[in-house]
């Protein structure tokens, strides 16, 4: 049994499968630009429109800009490792496939099961945030969605670890946006990518309008001191505050790894996947830095502890920027829409790969005859995400997404270390630089951030993993194609 648990799927076999054509093959239609736009679409969302204010007001002050750089570098470690894998193994499946090639089947199953927390629950989390912005936007036009149909029936208090009834019935807008994006993804990856490109352009234009016009309203005194003095408590300003803020802001970068799930639909994955992953990370880091500078320049940082910090900055600037208010909300709605789209795109492709390996039922790898998309898993993912988004609060879902993503980063960076030493002769179109420093730092930084997540989140992760292990030993190990070749 132990040999079966750690059976490794050869790189040669993975590459061979990626070039196969037939009724179960995906259509290669994505170019370099599409992949970069997918990455930007996944990254720029709730983070820039929500998290930046809390990080600045409670931890870093104007030095939140440095926190963006620190978080971007930390994500860069994982991004470089993802890029090496994606160029070597250009097939759907992301971290699941990489783990199968390096650490064995059981670890691959664990990471595949874990990625459900990132993609499926991630889509649900962002859909809840999307609902809040849409309800607020419609209210400006005197269109009111009753609270009973725009919120979760339960609320979660992370500090007290308690659940309370809200009086709401179900979050209809959150379910609606998931249904729309699921339908689009079934129709086709090219259509989905084109739609995502339009959304990304809209939200980037809105953000750039805020940066360009907001720059004229900066009060340079708000940047003094740029690094506020530490209060005597770790994480409250000073350099420790910058690091703590980087931990919070790290989650604003979640999503770039979703690009790797589309490797089997890229025209030239060996060259274009690193561009998609690292290019989107670089673009978003620059955008985050500019937004951080303008936001803390317009508003004194203690005033930014608000769920909509960019809107606070626009309001503070006064009548001169009021025309931006509806555009900011439009940009936020567009931004969150593209994140949902990319998250819902990633999960079915992981199921697709797991099914082709025999670890999930064969129906999970069925591809639509006309649209060439994994339609069964797309519909399944969308249906479950709709239920989760309709019933659960954003705080509870967000913590699960964070810990699931960080665990994936740890395994991918660890996989690069293993594979470089075990298979140094393999062709690597893209090589992670400064080996082994970069992957080691990737593992350490991700584990460090995991340690600061609440204990309850760790308990939920452990319970989720136990469920996954039960499924593996009762179904997957018996049906694995690598261990049970027909």
Per-residue model confidence (pLDDT) at position 364: 85
Q: What is the CATH number of the domain that holds 186?
A: 1.20.1740.10
User: Whole-angstrom Cα distance, residue 34 to residue 273?
Assistant: 10
Structure tokens at 485: 């070749």
* Contact yes or no for 31/272 (Cβ under 8 A): yes
**The Cα angle at residue 126 between residues 122 and 128, in degrees rounded to 5:** 120
Average pLDDT over residues 373-392: 90
Q: What is the mean pLDDT of residues 220-249?
A: 85
Domain that holds residue 76: 2-479
Tell me if 27 is assigned to some domain. Answer: yes
The Cα–Cα gap between 98 and 103 comes to: 8
484 is a domain residue: no
Q: What is the pLDDT of residues 87-126, one digit of tens each?
A: 777 665 567 887 887 788 898 899 888 888 878 888 888 8
**Predicted local confidence at residue 122, as pLDDT:** 81
Question: Is pLDDT of 380 > 60?
Answer: yes
3-state secondary structure of 171: strand
Residue 341, φ and ψ in degrees, nearest 5 = -60, -50
pLDDT of residue 50: 67
- Give the C-alpha separation, 122 to 196, whole Å: 17
> Would residue 76 count as lying in a domain?
yes
pLDDT in tens, 45-96: 766 776 677 788 888 899 999 988 888 888 889 888 988 887 777 665 567 8
* Per-residue pLDDT reduced to its tens digit, 428-453: 888 899 999 999 999 998 888 777 67
Q: What is the pLDDT of residue 311?
A: 77
Name the pLDDT band for 24 (thresholds 50, 70, 90).
very low
Q: What pLDDT score was predicted for residue 215?
A: 92
Give a yes or no: residue 138 inside a domain. yes
- 52 compared with 306, residue with greater pLDDT: 52
- Tell me what the pLDDT averaged over the chain comes to: 82
In a domain, 39, yes or no: yes
Mean pLDDT of 24-46: 72
- 125-172 residue pLDDT tens: 888 878 887 887 888 788 999 989 988 888 766 555 667 778 889 999
Confidence of residue 385 (pLDDT cuts 50, 70, 90): very high
Confidence check: pLDDT of 23 > 50: no
| Cβ atoms of residues 256 and 43 within 8 Å | yes
Read off the DSSP letter of residue 301: G
Q: What percent of the chain has pLDDT over 90?
A: 18
The pLDDT value given to residue 387 = 93
Within a domain: 190: yes
Domain count, the chain: 1
Domain assignment of residue 159, yes or no: yes
pLDDT tens for 190-208 read 676 777 778 888 888 888 9
Query: Is residue 98 in some structural domain?
Result: yes
């Amino acid at each position: 049994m132990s040999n079966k648990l750690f059976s490794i799927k050869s790189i040669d076999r993975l590459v061979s499968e990626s070039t196969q054509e037939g009724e179960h093959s995906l259509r290669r239609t994505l170019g370099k630009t599409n992949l970069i736009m997918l990455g930007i679409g996944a990254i720029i969302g709730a983070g820039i429109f929500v998290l930046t204010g809390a990080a600045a007001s409670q931890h870093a002050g104007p030095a939140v800009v440095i926190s963006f750089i620190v978080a971007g570098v930390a994500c860069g470690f994982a991004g470089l490792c993802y890029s090496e894998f994606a160029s070597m193994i250009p097939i759907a499946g992301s971290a699941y496939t990489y783990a199968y090639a390096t650490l064995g089947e059981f670890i691959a199953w664990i990471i595949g099961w874990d990625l459900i927390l990132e993609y499926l629950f991630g889509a649900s989390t962002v859909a809840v945030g999307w609902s809040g912005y849409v309800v607020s936007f419609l209210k400006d036009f005197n269109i009111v969605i009753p609270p009973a149909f725009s919120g979760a029936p339960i609320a979660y208090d992370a500090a007290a670890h308690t659940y309370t009834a809200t009086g709401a019935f179900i979050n209809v807008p959150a379910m609606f946006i998931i249904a729309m994006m699921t339908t689009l993804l079934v129709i086709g990856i090219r259509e989905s990518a084109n739609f995502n490109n339009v959304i990304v352009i809209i939200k980037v234009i809105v953000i750039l309008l805020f940066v360009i016009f907001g720059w004229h309203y900066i009060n340079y005194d708000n940047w003094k001191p740029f690094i506020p003095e530490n209060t005597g408590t770790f994480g409250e300003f000073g350099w420790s505050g910058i690091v703590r803020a980087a931990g919070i802001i790290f989650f604003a970068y979640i999503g770039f790894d979703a690009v790797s799930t589309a490797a089997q639909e890229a025209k030239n994955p060996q060259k274009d996947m690193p561009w998609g992953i690292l290019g989107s990370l670089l673009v978003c880091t620059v955008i985050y830095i500019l937004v951080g500078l303008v936001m803390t320049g317009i508003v004194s940082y203690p005033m930014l502890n608000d769920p909509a910090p960019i809107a606070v900055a626009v309001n503070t600037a006064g009548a001169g920027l009021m025309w931006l208010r509806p555009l900011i909300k439009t940009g936020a709605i567009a931004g969150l829409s593209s994140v949902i789209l990319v998250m819902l795109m990633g999960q079915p492709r992981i199921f697709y790969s797991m099914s082709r390996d025999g670890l999930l039922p064969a129906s999970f790898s069925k591809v639509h005859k006309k649209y060439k998309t994994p339609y069964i898993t797309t519909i399944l993912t969308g249906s479950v995400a709709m239920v989760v988004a309709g019933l659960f609060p954003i705080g509870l879902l967000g913590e699960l997404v964070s810990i699931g993503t960080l665990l994936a980063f740890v395994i991918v960076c660890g996989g690069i270390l293993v594979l470089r030493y075990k298979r140094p002769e393999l062709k690597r179109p893209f090589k992670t630089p400064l080996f082994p420093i970069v992957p080691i730092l990737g593992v350490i930084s991700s584990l460090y951030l995991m340690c600061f997540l609440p204990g309850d989140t760790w308990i939920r992760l452990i319970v989720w993993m136990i469920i996954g292990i039960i499924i593996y030993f009762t179904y997957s190990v018996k049906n694995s194609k690598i261990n049970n070749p027909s």
